[in-house]
Amino acid sequence: MIGLGLSLDMPRSGAAAVGITVPSASLWLIDGDSISAQTDGRSIAAHLATKSGGLMNFAPNAYTPPADSLRPGTVGVSGMKIADQAANLTAMFAANPSVTHMVVHVGTNDMAPTLYATMQSDALNYLALCKTANVSVIWSCILRRNDAIGQDAGNELKRVNFNAWLATLVGNPTYSLIGVINHDANFDPAADPTLVNAADSLHPTYKGAGIFVGNIFAALHFTATDVAALLPANTITNATLTGTSGGLATGVTGQVPTSWTVDNDTGCTCVASVGVDTDGERYCDMVLTGSATTNGQNVRFFRNDTSVGLVAGEWAEGKMNVTLTGSGGSGDATGVTGWMVQISNGFTFNSSHSFAAYGMMNTAFAGDVRCIPLKAAGAVTGTIGAYAKLNVGVVDARFRIKKVQGGKGS
């Protein structure tokens, strides 16, 4: 169920069902436990960024949780309970005073050890702190889990009751809870084990994350319609990908847009080309075939641009339109374990995605991919790029890049 009574017939991409309004000026972060702390193919922030076509604005995160690291789009920390994350909120809001909205996914670590009444009081405290900070919250309900904790009848009853209780708080003026998203209708790892890591039957895979984040996305209505208008003025050199005199680095043949480079250290065959797409936009294709012989290496489309080089306290924003298909231009790719788009130190997804545990990122994709920003702690080189990580073995993929935009945030 969704706290506003919305349908769960959600699209994987495209327009979301009208429900929770997302103002164009809103700035978001993700909070919670290890499920919300990821930056690879399981990233809640990255899935929301891509499903929305870049229309969701993420705050340039400047908060490093205790004993953890600074990451784009998320302040989640592995192992956290509801009370733990509530204890971090004051410092997080101080570091990110511009945040207006959060998606919270926390509670699975409370299922076994925490009394139900304590879970409730901890959640109320969390929501009260958000209300004080004038931050609106969408709570993503505790997922089913298929390990010993999840299979315990008492723990499962606690999970179900807690999720249902949360939904009763939506609209309560004491709190700023604007939505509660329940995933039980389509996230059941007992029925479909591929939704979670086989080693722990808990953490979602790339597929599982896409499904449960799809439930969140389906509840959102974005007032903005043009991602380009949400970004800084374009300062990227040759963002329109003109010319053919770009660099062909190791393992690449063909043509590359001027001032850009394509590199391939995977051992597969990579043929680069430039052209004009059906929408009139110039693109660069990287067609990957044969076999990758070096595990975990990348095919990269990139350039270094001083206009998005950063000093401490600055951040950059940008996007690329990405299409990933089979080498013929349709269907799923083969051999792609992970992919990402990067501008300076911000990125969306992470090409170091662990496919062995969390599934390949081969699924066909097409859309604007907006990088999730980070405030720089020191000097950052202005690298802009799109990366596809390959696994040893057969490769069959086309990675198309177009509609590049980027600049410093303000």
- For the chain, which domains are there? 20-225 (3.40.50.1110), 229-408 (2.60.120.260)
Instruction: Return the pLDDT at 250.
Output: 87
Q: Helix, strand, coil % (nearest 5) of the chain? A: 20, 30, 45
Nearest to 398 by CA among 345, 315, 353, 339: 339
Instruction: Return the pLDDT at 335.
Output: 96
Nearest to 359 by CA among 391, 327, 329, 386: 391
3-state secondary structure (DSSP) of residue 312: coil
In order of 10, 187, 271, 326, the CA distances from 143 in angstroms are: 17, 7, 42, 32
Instruction: Return the pLDDT at 133.
Output: 98
Q: What is the dihedral of CA 352, 189, 52, 281, to 10 degrees?
A: 60
d(CA 285, CA 292): 18
Instruction: Return the pLDDT at 19.
Output: 87
Tokens 């702690």 belong to 377
Instruction: Return the pLDDT at 285.
Output: 98
Instruction: Return the pLDDT at 270.
Output: 98
d(CA 313, CA 201): 40
d(CA 61, CA 65): 11
Instruction: Return the pLDDT at 364.
Output: 98
d(CA 132, CA 285): 49
User: The whole model's pTM is what?
Assistant: 0.94
Q: What is the edge-to-edge ordering of all strands in the sheet holding 252-254? A: 252-254, 269-276, 282-289, 397-408, 316-325, 365-370
Instruction: Return the pLDDT at 410.
Output: 85
Cα-flanking dihedrals φ and ψ of residue 165, to 5°?
-65, -40
Nearest to 345 by CA among 306, 384, 287: 384
**Which residues in the chain land under pLDDT 70?**
1-18
CA atoms within 13 A on the CB side of 357: 13
Amino acid at 367: G
d(CA 104, CA 29): 9
Instruction: Return the pLDDT at 12.
Output: 32
